[in-house]
């Protein structure tokens, strides 16, 4: 199960009636009960917040409800207020509990990608008591600290699969009604390196210069991104019920992702058996309507391969794909130097 669906079923249990009566069962990306908001992160990560504030992810909070294009989509969907209960909340906003109710408090924010903060915000920054520093922390404490932070829901940059999975859950736009009835764009030409190394980049904590990801990391991002593209397009097709824009564009995307991965398998000279494994898993399901069980099983096979791939490699063996990596002028948006 994906994180969204897993969370949704627990939300349904907690909120029961209220959610069930909403016109479209609403899928929030993260649990509003555990969201602290970007200001809480900014107490320590001031420069990350500064960079983020300039991105589309932050600005959508104010801009989306005002745009004509949004109003047009909302009207077709029968939504009166975009920031009230609507399908838009799951991808354009971060919600938290205010006065007992779940309300949007920001655009796509720190916690949309790193996980809801309540459980890990103290844990991940505590080096072992009040007077402890990074320098005095014992190695055992450090290992335990990160294990505890991850157990509490933190998604760290080292967990590239989980971090990148967030992007695809939103950017694939897996919502048939929104696309077919609302006329929302059916996803875009998302590619992980180009889309993470422009305006989204905030490598400003461990170093100050907001450097681009190093070459091995770019290779890993690129390859994990291609596997996620296949996984999430299969998941997308699995939800298709009508032969219309949504189904057609998702199926095309999945077919293209398969071709691209086959090409990548050649370029890497078979150095990653997990890529073949993903392709084999994907070949098990026909890209057709009302084929949910087989397509979800195929997506889960691809996911398993992608997670294994992320764990087993560091990028150094994949110089073969360097030609395929996007050049800096392809990076999406302007890099912010804090
Ligand atoms: C009290 C200060 C403080 C707050 C508040 C805080 N952080 Fe951190 N954060 C730290 C420190 C300190 C580190 C570095 C730990 C180290 O070097 O081992 C860190 C590291 C990180 C990292 C890098 C982790 C890694 O694997 O290297 C991420 C991501 C992160 N924080 C996200 C967040 C998010 C998201 C929030 C808000 C929900 C947040 N932080 C709030 C102090 C804080
Ligand atoms: C499943 C995720 C998802 C949902 C739900 C969603 N969007 Fe989007 N939307 C996106 C993504 C991702 C983009 C950026 C497209 C891209 O990749 O360039 C976007 C872009 C847009 C844009 C164009 C950019 C802009 O801000 O002007 C508009 C308008 C928009 N969405 C309106 C809406 C409205 C209105 C709703 C609710 C009815 C909604 N969206 C629900 C994912 C979603
Ligand atoms: C769109 C998803 C996304 C959002 C939003 C986001 N991050 Fe990140 N964050 C990432 C990714 C991806 C990386 C790893 C980037 C890389 O390796 O090039 C990262 C890396 C980091 C790091 C390590 C930076 C370093 O110097 O190596 C910290 C700390 C961090 N994020 C904190 C935050 C905080 C605080 C916010 C909110 C202001 C935030 N992030 C918002 C995706 C996101
Ligand atoms: C919670 C949903 C969500 C997540 C997670 C998410 N995005 Fe987005 N992203 C959006 C939406 C919605 C927009 C459009 C915002 C707008 O302009 O209204 C967007 C816009 C962007 C843009 C600007 C596009 C443009 O038109 O210039 C970039 C770049 C981007 N995202 C990259 C990423 C990357 C990389 C990740 C993962 C590390 C990521 N996003 C994770 C929802 C998300």
Q: Whose CA is nearest to atom 9 of ligand 1?
A: 125
Which atom of ligand 1 lies closest to the CA of 38?
37
CB 173 within 8 A of CB 187: yes
Cα–Cα distance for residue pair 195/291, rounded to 1 Å: 31
Band of residue 7 on the pLDDT scale cut at 50, 70, 90: very low
Which atom of ligand 4 lies closest to the CA of 108?
1
- The mean pLDDT of 223-233, rounded to a whole number, is 98
The values of phi and psi at residue 114, to 5°, are -100, 0
Residue 247 above 90 pLDDT? yes
Identify the nearest ligand to the CA of 82 by its number: 2
Band of residue 249 on the pLDDT scale cut at 50, 70, 90: very high
- Name which of 125, 123, 95, 106 is nearest 34 in CA terms: 95
* C-alpha dist (Å) from residue 158 to 154, 161, 221: 11, 9, 11
pLDDT at 145: 98
Mean pLDDT score of the chain = 91
Identify the nearest ligand to the CA of 204 by its number: 3
Residue 14 above 80 pLDDT? no
pLDDT at 187: 87
Cα–Cα distance for residue pair 68/262, rounded to 1 Å: 41
Q: Which two tokens stand for residue 337?
A: 């130097």
Band of residue 28 on the pLDDT scale cut at 50, 70, 90: confident
- The mean pLDDT of 265-273, rounded to a whole number, is 93
Cα–Cα distance for residue pair 159/150, rounded to 1 Å: 10
- The mean pLDDT of 127-136, rounded to a whole number, is 94
pLDDT at 27: 63
Band of residue 184 on the pLDDT scale cut at 50, 70, 90: very high
pLDDT, tens digit (0-9, with 9 covering 90-100), for 189-205: 899 999 999 999 999 99
pLDDT at 223: 98
Q: Whose CA is nearest to atom 13 of ligand 4?
A: 57
pLDDT at 29: 79
Band of residue 20 on the pLDDT scale cut at 50, 70, 90: very low
- Of 170, 197, 220, best ligand 4 pocket probe by most atoms within 8 Å of the beta carbon: 170
Q: Which two tokens stand for residue 100?
A: 């007992």
The 8 Å CB, 24+ separation contacts for 295-302 are: 295/234, 295/235, 295/237, 295/238, 296/234, 296/235, 296/238, 298/234, 299/231, 299/232, 299/234, 299/235, 299/238, 301/277, 302/227, 302/230, 302/231, 302/234, 302/278
Band of residue 16 on the pLDDT scale cut at 50, 70, 90: very low
pLDDT, tens digit (0-9, with 9 covering 90-100), for 83-117: 887 889 999 999 999 999 999 999 999 999 999 99
Q: Whose CA is nearest to atom 27 of ligand 3?
A: 203
């Amino acid at each position: 199960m994906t994180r969204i669906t897993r969370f949704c079923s627990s939300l349904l249990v907690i909120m029961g009636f209220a959610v069930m009566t909403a016109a479209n069962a609403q899928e929030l990306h993260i649990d509003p009960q555990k969201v602290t908001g970007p200001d809480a992160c900014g107490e320590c990560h001031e420069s990350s917040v500064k960079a983020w504030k300039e991105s589309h992810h932050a600005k959508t909070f104010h801009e989306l409800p005002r745009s004509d294009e949004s109003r047009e989509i909302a009207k077709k969907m029968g939504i009166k207020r975009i920031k009230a209960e609507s399908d838009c909340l799951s991808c354009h906003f971060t919600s938290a509990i205010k006065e007992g109710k779940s309300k949007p408090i920001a655009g796509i924010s720190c916690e949309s990608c790193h996980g809801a903060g309540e459980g890990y915000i103290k844990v991940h920054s505590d080096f072992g008591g009040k007077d402890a520093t990074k320098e005095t922390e014992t190695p055992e404490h450090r290992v335990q600290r990160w294990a505890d932070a991850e157990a509490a829901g933190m998604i760290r940059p080292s967990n590239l699969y989980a971090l990148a999975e967030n992007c695809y859950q939103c950017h694939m736009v897996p919502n048939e009604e929104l696309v077919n009835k609302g006329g929302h764009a059916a996803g875009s030409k998302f590619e992980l390196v180009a889309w993470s190394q422009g305006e989204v980049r905030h490598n400003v904590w461990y170093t100050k210069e907001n450097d681009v990801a190093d070459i091995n990391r770019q290779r890993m991002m690129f390859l994990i991104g291609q596997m996620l593209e296949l996984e999430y397009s299969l998941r997308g097709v699995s939800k298709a019920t009508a032969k219309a824009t949504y189904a057609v564009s998702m199926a095309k995307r999945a077919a293209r992702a398969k071709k691209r991965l086959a090409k990548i398998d050649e370029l890497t000279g078979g150095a990653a058996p997990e890529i073949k494994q993903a392709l084999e898993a994907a070949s098990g399901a026909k890209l057709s309507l009302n084929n949910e069980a087989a397509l979800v099983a195929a997506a889960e096979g691809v996911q398993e391969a992608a997670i294994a791939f992320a764990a087993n490699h560091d990028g150094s063996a994949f110089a073969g794909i360097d030609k395929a990596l996007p050049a800096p002028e392809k990076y999406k948006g302007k890099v912010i130097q804090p």
